[in-house]
Amino acid sequence: MTSRPRLLGLATVVPPYRLNQSDVVARAERLFDRGASEIERMMAVYDNAGIDSRYSCVPLEWYEQPHGWAEKNRLFLTHAVDLLERATADALAKTGLEAADIDGIVAVSTTGIATPSLDALLMERMGFRRDVWRLPVFGLGCAGGVLGLARAAAMAQAAPGQKVLYVVVELCALTFRRSDQSKSNIIATALFGDGAAAAIVGCEGNGPEMAAWGEHCWPHSLDIMGWQVTDDGLGVIFSRNIPSLVRCDLRAAAESFLGRHGLGFADIGGFVCHPGGAKVIEALEEAFGLAPGAMNHGRDVLREFGNMSAATIMFVLQRTLAAAADGRKLLSALGPGFTAGFLVLEAA
């Protein structure tokens, strides 16, 4: 029987600047060039986001001035590697491992461009062996949190005696664009925050098992979510139909995934989902047949940290495991493509 990969250790970190939603609202009222009636309607987006605070790698005053794509990406490279170094050090300490014990690195991000890749940059900071194999993953958006962990699991399963470091960092707040008055950009300013996580995966050791993983990409859905590259950075693409798509289509995709692994919804004891936003959480509860308010860990993470894209699911998972480590859980996240990522985590 093939050994199953395990989640041996998990750590999450945030940058130093805490942004209170009330302060963000006050800035947004000044920065967006709209009439009084439109501003009033716009503020409802912030009130309904379900967020009290978020974290940013730059102070709130930074957003007052225009910034180009080149400057934003330089900031991304600096702060992303700093956060990954902190998260990796914490994850290694939790597992009693050293950087030299790591055999492979999977690095996930979609909020900046890194060539050399983030994993190579991280190697220059820490004592990794020079023969580690590396997999940088770009473009999966929020779904990258689950699918990146799945890639690390698959790599660990292919080499049962080895340890894989999975890192994810998203600096979503850097994507703010003053010149963009679109509803999608306004929603992004109400939701996005910065964060990072690191996990150690291996088939030898203690921790919940990763029993199955997979994904589903819907046809004719490329315009649902993503980025458009502009002179002043990455412009967010959000479809207003995302909550409806979750409510109507996600359950069938999840059932198909579980069925391929001999499982059904009755076999799942808990759901660990990327929260997205307040309306998305409500749609997730409906799709999975849960009572309203059941996804309390997702709501708590969203309220305290905002939407950190791919990194968010690791914050939700950390809280879920701290509260109830046993049982079988289904992880899920949605991203550009339009794609759903799934992973089954089992703990005795």
| Short-list 197, 163, 173, CA closest to 274 | 197
142 in active site: yes
159 and 252: one domain?
no
pLDDT tens digit string along 143-153?
A: 999 999 999 99
- Burial degree of 337 (CB within 10 A; 0-12, 13-18, 19+): buried
Tell me the whole-structure pTM to 2 decimals.
Answer: 0.93
192 and 328: one domain?
no
**What's the DSSP call for residue 192?**
B
136 and 17: one domain?
yes
275 and 198: one domain?
no
In a domain, 163, yes or no: yes
Domain boundary among 172, 202, 232: 202
Count of the separate structural domains present in the chain: 2
The boundaries of the domain holding residue 144 are 6-202
Domain boundary among 163, 180, 202: 202
Type and span of the H or E element at 201 = strand 194-202
In a domain, 70, yes or no: yes
Overall average pLDDT of the 182-200 stretch = 85
Domain boundary among 187, 202, 217: 202
276 and 165: one domain?
no
178 and 233: one domain?
no
24 and 162: one domain?
yes
**Radius of gyration over alpha carbons of the chain, in Å?**
19
For residue 335, give the CATH number of its domain.
Answer: 3.40.47.10
89 and 145: one domain?
yes
pLDDT tens digit string along 40-93?
A: 667 777 777 788 999 999 998 888 888 888 999 999 999 999 999 999 999 999
In a domain, 314, yes or no: yes
125 and 16: one domain?
yes
141 and 226: one domain?
no
In a domain, 1, yes or no: no
From 142, 172, 203, 273, active-site residue:
142
150 and 220: one domain?
no
50 and 177: one domain?
yes
In a domain, 81, yes or no: yes
Q: What is the pLDDT of residue 44?
A: 73
Provide the 10 A C-beta neighbour count for residue 69. Answer: 16
Question: Poorest-confidence range of 80-84, 113-117, 224-228, 317-321?
Answer: 224-228
Q: What is the pLDDT of residue 181?
A: 67
- Burial degree of 142 (CB within 10 A; 0-12, 13-18, 19+): buried
Type and span of the H or E element at 95 = helix 69-95
